[in-house]
Structure 1
Amino acid sequence: MTGRENDDQWLSEITLASALAMMQNNGVSEVLYKVLPKNANSKNQVYLGGQDPSQFSKLPTGEMTAHLSVSEKSGSHEAVFQAALDFYWLTDEGQLAPAPHAKMIFYPQYPEVRFSGFLKGCKHAPSTFWAKEKRGTEPGRILLLGLGNEKKVIGLTLPPEAPATKEILATGPHARYEVFGILPMAGEEEVEDGFVELMRHLCRIHDMGFVSSRRLDPSGALVPCTSSNCNGNTLEALLGIRSNGYSLPDFMGWEIKARQLKSVDNPSSTVVTLFTPEPTTGIYAEDGIEAFIRRFGYPDRRGRDDRLNFGGIHKGGQPAHHLTGLRLILDGYDPSAPKEYLSTGAILLMDATDTVAAGWSFAKLMSHWKEKHAQAAYVPCQQLLIPARQYRYGRKILLGEGAEFGLLLKAFYEGRVYYDPGIKLEGESTPKPKWKKRSQFRVASVDLPTLYEKSRIVDACDISKASW
């Protein structure tokens, strides 16, 4: 045995305990695995399944970018979306070897998601077990993906004969995440159902009644939270979720959103902010926010001097807003085929002369949607300000699963999801005016189910009655 085969021999001998220890030593807190079929090799991308990249929100990626590919069958141009992965292979010494071309690719025309580029440019990739002319067509290989070290994804390939492979197959079935199994880490009890675990915690939090406003800082320390929007921070702290700068699912793959109400015992419809992306095109992006406000803003409606605002609800299919003169359109979307859209498409704010004032590419919006909304739990929350800020959380939880991007575009087209900014320019006549940006897309809570393939309201303290 020579060359690359000799370099990869250690993978044939590794135990599961050693593999997990190497992962943990590199900051991994969760390990996914996929048993590979014969066609998963260096000539073919690894099939991840799915209908939409949002189904893989556990995998941290860079922003989605739009591309056109030529179909080998028809010769036609087809939309493709790609997102880079900060991916590394583990070496035999437990070091990280970067794979600079690793990426996730979404083919909306099929639809399916694939993993690609994970060998290219990496000097220490386990190519023996991926090369078609070597062992890349053997069934029974296992790909491990380690998550939890910021946005890094750490990989390990196990051949069929490895003790670790045999241990994984012998101890299954494990909890699932799409096409992946989830391996319990050392010292952890295996959780069979993330939904059941989430409901158990939300019932416990409900039973606590009013709790003081708080958050967990990045180091894990519990600190007071004093701003007016601490309902989500407090809920995350009660679930053990630290504040961080990464837009990833909050609890076992579920995004947790607190929905503030007057009473959690009688939940009513409220407005939910889905995301707050900045425009990627138009006057806003090209000339700057100040030029945008001066051109499309209006004097403050409450009589506050020397101030221009840009606000108001802008919905698809509606006339131009009476204050801004802008209308919202979907460019590259066909309502007769709601799951088909152009890779170059965008949501645009346009004036009467068809000048683009601001726009958000589908790729940019898909990045936000992918990061958070595959599985979401909307938790009712009630606030108390006296003697100090406190929150109480309800037990009737709105759940949504299957947030396909096409459903989001359909909701935009129907006016269910809308643009509702809060942008202002203060001291607009002075040499140094101050501006504030707040581009936000919102939806009424009664329309949240339209964004998901499946939705339901569940009593967190009585999930025996829960069914889709």
Structure 2
Amino acid sequence: MVIKRLAKNNNDKNQVYIHKSIGVFNSMFSLKFNERDESSSTTKRASKPGKKIPEAVFTKFSWVSSDSSLHEVKSCKAILYAQYPETRLSGFQTIHNEMPRSMSIEFTKIEGIPPRYLAIGATKSGDAVAMMIVDPSAQFEEEFDGLENAVSSGVIKSSALGKADNRTQDLIVLLKEKVAGQTLLGCRLDKDGNTIPFTGTQVCGYTLEHALGIKPNADKDGDIFGIELKAISQKKVTLFTPEPDGGLYKQSFPDFMKKYGYLKGTDEYRFTGIHRANSRNEKSGLTLKILFLNKGKAKDEFFESEYDPSKSIDKQSRNLRVSLVDDQGFEAATWSFERLLNSWGVKHNETVYYPVKKVLNENASGIEKGYKFLVEFDSKALWCQKTQISKLFNAIHDGTIILDPAPKYVESNPKLNKRRSQWRINDIYRDSAKLYDEVELIDL
């Protein structure tokens, strides 16, 4: 939970400054970031500053009233102003056009306005629950002053009240009971909750979800108790698979594949090979870079710069993007700051990597029923907690996270086309500490 002492002019019409970094909120709350227009810069200084301001909409933001009922807000947004940098909140009215009176313009015009505090807590799935605290007791103000500052902020305080949630321990107990050290039939749950055999490449993950009673889904929430759960069969792990939202890849997938891919057969184009930051891939001729718009000395002067991990990501967030750049400086494919924020957020703030092994089922009766595989579950799991978007960018920059793409374009049969941008880490056991503050191999 974060708490801020509001200034007199903080109200529904004037945005509330909350933090310099939008990434801090992204690791606490479930947010949907609006993504920028495509970028196809061909020169270092040709970019213009007229880019969209990054903004994130809370998946769910509600006011809690004195009777503990929740009142959902229409669209509360966190808006990042990269030139400062700072993040401000706006949009506090509920779907019924209501809000706390103490957040209204009329209230802030009162002479001798009493002290106000805005408190925002996060549920285990990242929903925001907020309340206004007006004219509190001296004891409250004293305790507020004694709270720790939120990450890299002297403006908002953080409270550990949320740690009363025992979701981590609940999941440990469930894993011990349902899967640890066991060998289970390869299966999954269907949409109605029935058990059915499964023989696809995701058999390990589906079998784990089945054991815990989780129906298969492709949303961005954590798999269980708000915790992301990944079944891993090797130390090399795919972290996420967002597609580019800019560059030639976005503008024309066929043109990208023909220009940077290679021909396999008569009309099938492939694009493969490890792309590591600041290292040219000989097969594609592309170099993976992290770029942003830097402020020049003149008022409206901006120029392209490369990301520097020794500096604050907040000061490099203007048009920040990961890009595949060719030898002429053309950005063939780009992943915007917003696209990556959408892929690396609150659901990754607690992630469990569970070691598994897929083996052939040798039981004839089981095979007859469709259970081709068995899944063996380890007795230990890698538990990772607390991450930030800066950790993600730093890990891409130093080559810990690599792009291992595998798209395919078949000119004569578009049905065979596939797009696959895999962002991977070569050794999750060795390098997880670069992505998370807390890493522990838990014996189940």
CA contact (8 A) 1:82 1:106 kept: yes
Are 2:77 and 1:103 aligned? yes
For 1:297, give the aligned amino acid. Answer: G
Q: Distance in 1 between matches of 2:201 and 2:185?
A: 13
**1:75-86 alignment runs, 5 A limit:** 81-86=54-59
Are 2:233 and 1:279 aligned? no
CA contact (8 A) 1:255 1:375 kept: yes
Structure 2 residue corresponding to 1:344, chosen from 319, 323, 326: 319
| Counterpart position of 1:454 | 437
Are 2:380 and 1:396 aligned? yes
Q: Distance in 2 between matches of 1:216 and 1:55?
A: 34
Q: Secondary structure at the match of 1:201?
A: helix
Are 2:418 and 1:442 aligned? no
| Counterpart position of 2:152 | none
Are 2:323 and 1:354 aligned? no
TM-score in terms of structure 1 length: 0.68
Q: Distance in 1 between matches of 2:206 and 2:329?
A: 41
| Counterpart position of 1:256 | 229
CA contact (8 A) 2:58 2:128 kept: no
Q: Secondary structure at the match of 1:277?
A: coil
Q: Distance in 1 between matches of 2:247 and 2:278?
A: 20
Using a 3 Å threshold, how does the CA distance of structure 1 residues 205 and 392 change in structure 2: closer, same or farther? farther
Alignment gaps of 5+ in structure 2 = 38-49, 136-156, 293-306, 363-371
Are 2:388 and 1:415 aligned? no
Using a 3 Å threshold, how does the CA distance of structure 1 residues 432 and 53 change in structure 2: closer, same or farther? closer
RMSD across aligned positions (CA): 4.2
Larger RCO (alpha carbons 8 Å, 6+ apart): 2
**1:186-201 alignment runs, 5 A limit:** 192-201=165-174
Deviation at 1:452, TM superposition (A): 2.5
CA contact (8 A) 1:260 1:380 kept: yes
CA contact (8 A) 1:338 1:410 kept: no
Deviation at 1:312, TM superposition (A): 0.5
| Counterpart position of 2:366 | none
**1:181-260 alignment runs, 5 A limit:** 192-207=165-180, 209-260=182-233
Structure 2 residue corresponding to 1:326, chosen from 266, 281, 286: 286
Deviation at 1:421, TM superposition (A): 0.6
Q: Distance in 2 between matches of 1:385 and 1:298?
A: 35
Deviation at 1:110, TM superposition (A): 9.1
For 2:397, give the aligned amino acid. Answer: Y
CA contact (8 A) 2:261 2:269 kept: yes
Q: Distance in 2 between matches of 1:317 and 1:328?
A: 6
Q: Secondary structure at the match of 1:125?
A: coil
Q: Distance in 2 between matches of 1:400 and 1:216?
A: 27
TM-score in terms of structure 2 length: 0.71
Q: Between 129-138 and 218-227, report the one with greater CA deviation.
A: 129-138
Q: Distance in 1 between matches of 2:85 and 2:175?
A: 34
Q: Distance in 2 between matches of 1:34 and 1:407?
A: 21
For 1:308, give the aligned amino acid. Answer: Y
Q: Distance in 1 between matches of 2:346 and 2:166?
A: 21
Q: Distance in 2 between matches of 1:131 and 1:459?
A: 49
Q: Distance in 2 between matches of 1:345 and 1:108?
A: 10
Using a 3 Å threshold, how does the CA distance of structure 1 residues 39 and 401 change in structure 2: closer, same or farther? farther
Q: Secondary structure at the match of 1:407?
A: helix
Question: What is the number of residues matched between the two proteins?
Answer: 382
Deviation at 1:79, TM superposition (A): 11
Deviation at 1:318, TM superposition (A): 1.0
Q: CA offsets per residue over residues 348-383 of structure 1, 9 Å max, x none?
A: 112222222111112211111115322211111111
For 2:244, give the aligned amino acid. Answer: P
CA contact (8 A) 1:411 1:417 kept: yes
Are 2:264 and 1:316 aligned? no
Using a 3 Å threshold, how does the CA distance of structure 1 residues 105 and 219 change in structure 2: closer, same or farther? farther
Q: Secondary structure at the match of 1:412?
A: helix
For 1:104, give the aligned amino acid. Answer: A
Report percent identity of matched pairs.
Answer: 25
Alignment gaps of 5+ in structure 1 = 1-32, 68-76, 162-177, 184-189, 262-269, 462-468
